[in-house]
Amino acid sequence: MKKLRVIKSALTAICRNPTRTFLTTLGIVIGIAAVIALMEIGNGAQETLQKNIAAMGVNTMRIFPGTVTRSGVNTGTGARANLTMKDAEAILKNCDHVEAVSPVLWVRGQLIYGGKNWNPYSINGGNEDFLEISGWQIEEGEPISSMHVRRGSKVCLVGSTIVRELFDGENPIGKDLRIQNVMFRVIGVLKTKGANMMGMDQDDCVIAPWTAVKMRLRGAGSSSIVSANTVTSTTTLSASSTYTTGVTFYPEASSTLPPVRFSNVDSLIVSVPSADMLGIATEEIIAALRESHKLLPENEDDFRIRTMAEFTDFLTSSTKTTTNLLLCVAFVSLLVGGVGIMNIMLVSVTERTREIGLRMAVGAKARDILRQFLIESIVICILGGIIGIFVGHGMSVALAKLMGWPTSISYAAIILSVGVSALVGVIFGYYPAWKAARLDPIEALRYE
Amino acid sequence: MSLITLKDIRKTYIMGDIKLPVLKGISLNVEKGEMLALTGVSGSGKSTLMNILGCLDRPTSGEYWLDGKEISNLDNDGRADVRNKKIGFVFQNFNLLARTSALENVIMPLGYTAAHMTERQMIEAGKTMLERVGLADRMDHEPSRLSGGQQQRVAIARALVNKPQILFADEPTGNLDTHMSDEILKIFREINERDGVTIVLVTHEMDVAHSAKRIIKLKDGEISDDTVLEK
């Protein structure tokens, strides 16, 4: 029998009892709708999660100086003072998969504004790319520019906690803030980030050009009454044997950097275009830094690279697990829908016994009958699947609007659902079709 | 050569331990273009004989030659082919597909073998057949909107659409009033005379049987009488 005619006659048969067909497909509709909605919501959740993780700095890595052991005492990571702007430049120049590099300096110190004072969790120094790399956004004001960095300008950006604690809701932009008794002009306010995963208030921070932090806050301890509070260990260690690594700590006077006494930085923060490039970027950075530090093959790395890759993997896999779990539930409902289809197909075969007998009398073979009923159940299932796709998509769009959940359309889910519903049709339609095909034409014709 | 040759056809139903012989050795010759009636009281075996003749059933023993071929041992698919190409059926209760137009009903058998025909040719053939039975203006009607006589005419058109050599009619007038019965019988005669289609009428009504040219009476599974009517 011709394919077109088979499908046409299947459609006619289905349309003969529209209410029943609709109720039959309902199981499949609900099943497929659930699959589609879950896949889309799950996809959306994953995308948002990835965005959030990216904002937390998952496509970034930190490079710390290595350890140093003096007189049998290991000082721990970061104790060496061998990371410089030279390294940052080397990374930018030699590593194709690196987007941006910023030095990071971290000090603590007292802030004074008006009659108030506050000791923030961190005072960070970075270059013009620092905000972007570490996922900061500006609420108001302007970011740190390359000009600020070059000049070592005494400007800073403040987090929302500081605005609350020091400025009493006053607009801080343009105000002068004393950091360790050095005047800094506030040029912008950072967008609130909230606590980080360790529970630290990330908004309790000040960001300034690293050159200013280096020159005014760190090295200039003599002029600061609170210099004892600053992290100065790197400078004290810098006079140690680490000089033997051959790095220039006294860089030649350049037009871009003002003369500084020690050009080492606490760490470097590096961003890559996407998290999956972390691996290759790491290799490139290792190569670039070994080259720049002139390490011999037998020397160990004198720096450490840290990424958040493992953490991302964990979060991604946990959303995946949740989505998969929900999908299992959705597939159970598909199964129930399939049983409903089988039930109705069996009823339909009984009802249409005479028709089957007639078709056999005019020359339909058993396999023609089998095919006819199989195609009917597949058509019902695919119709249900298509309706389910629309319902499911509608549900996820509605959820996205009502609850503000992120969703994203999943084409894989759509193709999968059509396939699955056809498969349900074959599996659950086969038994009724087989029953129809092995009817005896004489009995079937006589059936009342 | 005869169109149909039966040689000692027997059919025995086995119910548990009891053997129930329904046909007890039937031998018969039917020539091309004959119009014969198969009569007998209920239980005489006429339906069983028609099922065997119509290739719906197989005899327990005996030979059945149809159009020069022995077909009593064909398998299900083989018999389905024979039914599709050589045999047409008309039933007492019409057996039309509900909610399907008269035309679709008529071309339904073509769907099973006419791979050589295009959709348009099939529709053409169906239209021709409906015109032949005088339903040219009812092609799009569904069976529920047709009278009994019209429904039976659709069924005849369907039986003829494959251009069969034999048409089996099982109590074709059983559900119709006298007027409609005459109309249907007239169509049968026309088909028989004009197209030379062999017709086998199965009926228990003698006046229906008398519209045929030959009457075969069955009694207790055997042929009790075989008369050719003079006209």
> What integer is the mean pLDDT of A158-166?
89
Digit-coded pLDDT (tens) for B6-36: 999 999 998 888 999 999 999 999 999 999 9
A7 touches chain B (CB under 8 A): no
> What integer is the mean pLDDT of B159-172?
91
DSSP state of A163: I
Q: Which of A23-32, A189-198, B138-147 has the lowest mean pLDDT?
A: A189-198
Residues A122, A190 contacting (CB under 8 angstroms): no
Q: Which residues of A touch B113 (CB under 8 A)?
A: 363
CA distance A159 to A190: 5
Burial class (CB in 10 A: 0-12, 13-18, 19+), A211: buried
Digit-coded pLDDT (tens) for B221-230: 999 999 998 7
Digit-coded pLDDT (tens) for A234-266: 444 444 444 444 444 444 444 444 444 467 788
Strand-pair category, B61-66 with B69-70: antiparallel
A12 touches chain B (CB under 8 A): yes
pTM confidence score:
0.68
Residue written as token pair 């659409």:
B161
Exposure class string for A398-433: b at 16+ Cβ within 10 A, else e: ebbeeeeebbbebeebbebbbebbbebbbebbbebb
> What integer is the mean pLDDT of A265-277?
84
The confidence score (pLDDT) of residue A301 equals 83
Could you say which residues from 337 to 356 on chain A have a Cβ atom under 8 Å away from some Cβ of chain B? 354-355
* pLDDT greater than 70 at residue A438: yes
Name which of A359, A361, A367 is nearest B56 (Cβ-Cβ). Answer: A361
The confidence score (pLDDT) of residue B127 equals 93
Name which of B91, B119, B159 is nearest A445 (Cβ-Cβ). Answer: B91
Name which of A1, A5, A363 is nearest B81 (Cβ-Cβ). Answer: A363
The confidence score (pLDDT) of residue A167 equals 87
Q: Which of A27-36, A259-268, A304-313, B32-41 has the lowest mean pLDDT?
A: A259-268
The confidence score (pLDDT) of residue A197 equals 65
Residues B213, B18 contacting (CB under 8 angstroms): no
CA distance A104 to B55: 93
Nearest alpha-carbon partner for A281 in A132, A57, A60, A54: A60
Task: State the DSSP string of A210-277.
Answer: HHHIIIIIITTGGG-TTGGGS--HHHHHTTSGGGGG---SSPPP-SSS---S--B-SEEEEE-SSGGG
Q: Do A365 and B57 touch (CB under 8 A)?
A: no
Name which of B57, B83, B111 is nearest A1 (Cβ-Cβ). Answer: B111
In chain A, % of residues over pLDDT 70: 87
* pLDDT greater than 80 at residue A222: no
Q: Do B108 and A365 touch (CB under 8 A)?
A: no
Digit-coded pLDDT (tens) for A3-32: 777 788 888 888 888 898 888 888 889 889
Q: Do A2 and B80 touch (CB under 8 A)?
A: no
The confidence score (pLDDT) of residue A448 equals 77
CA distances from B188 to A203, B69, B106 (A): 98, 26, 17
Q: Do B83 and A363 touch (CB under 8 A)?
A: yes
* pLDDT greater than 80 at residue A209: yes
> What integer is the mean pLDDT of A58-64?
83
Taking CA–CA distances from A15, the nearest residue in chain B reads: B99
B→A interface, C-beta within 8 Å = 51, 54, 56-57, 76-77, 80-81, 83-85, 89, 91, 95, 97-100, 104, 108-109, 111-113, 115, 119, 158-159, 162
In chain B, % of residues over pLDDT 70: 99
The confidence score (pLDDT) of residue B150 equals 92
Tell me the nearest-neighbour CA distance from B226 into chain A, angstroms: 26
B32-58+77-228 falls under which CATH superfamily? Answer: P-loop containing nucleotide triphosphate hydrolases (3.40.50.300)
User: What confidence category does residue A220 fall into, taking pLDDT thresholds of 50, 70 and 90?
Assistant: very low
A18 touches chain B (CB under 8 A): no
DSSP state of A144: -
Tell me the nearest-neighbour CA distance from B205 into chain A, angstroms: 20
Digit-coded pLDDT (tens) for A81-138: 788 888 888 888 888 888 899 999 888 888 999 888 889 988 999 998 998 888 888 8
The confidence score (pLDDT) of residue A228 equals 37
Q: Which residues of B touch A5 (CB under 8 A)?
A: 111, 119
Question: Which positions ≥6 away from A285 have C-beta within 8 Å?
Answer: A61, A63, A91, A95, A98, A270, A305
Tell me the nearest-neighbour CA distance from B186 into chain A, angstroms: 23
The confidence score (pLDDT) of residue B73 equals 85
Nearest alpha-carbon partner for A33 in A299, A393, A363, A358: A393
The confidence score (pLDDT) of residue A55 equals 67
Taking CA–CA distances from B110, the nearest residue in chain A reads: A1
Taking CA–CA distances from A369, the nearest residue in chain B reads: B112
- Between A411-437 and A18-56, two packed helices, what is the crossing angle to 10 degrees? 150
Report chain B's mean pLDDT, rounded to a whole number: 90
Choose from A352, A362, A370, A372 for mutation: most chain B CBs within 10 A.
A362
* pLDDT greater than 70 at residue A226: no
Name which of A2, A364, A445 is nearest B80 (Cβ-Cβ). Answer: A364
DSSP state of B230: P
The confidence score (pLDDT) of residue B231 equals 62
Tell me the nearest-neighbour CA distance from A338 into chain B, angstroms: 27
CA distance B26 to B194: 30
A20 touches chain B (CB under 8 A): no
Instruction: Report domain extents, chain A.
Output: 3-53+314-446, 59-308
Report how many Cβ contacts below 8 Å link chain A to chain B: 70
The confidence score (pLDDT) of residue A35 equals 85
* pLDDT greater than 80 at residue B116: no
In chain A, % of residues over pLDDT 90: 20
Q: Which residues of B touch A12 (CB under 8 A)?
A: 99-100, 104
The confidence score (pLDDT) of residue B169 equals 93
Tell me the nearest-neighbour CA distance from A440 into chain B, angstroms: 9
Task: State the DSSP string of B88-101.
Answer: EEE-TT--PPTTS-
ipTM: 0.92
In chain B, % of residues over pLDDT 90: 53
The confidence score (pLDDT) of residue A246 equals 44
* pLDDT greater than 70 at residue A221: no
User: What confidence category does residue A219 fall into, taking pLDDT thresholds of 50, 70 and 90?
Assistant: low
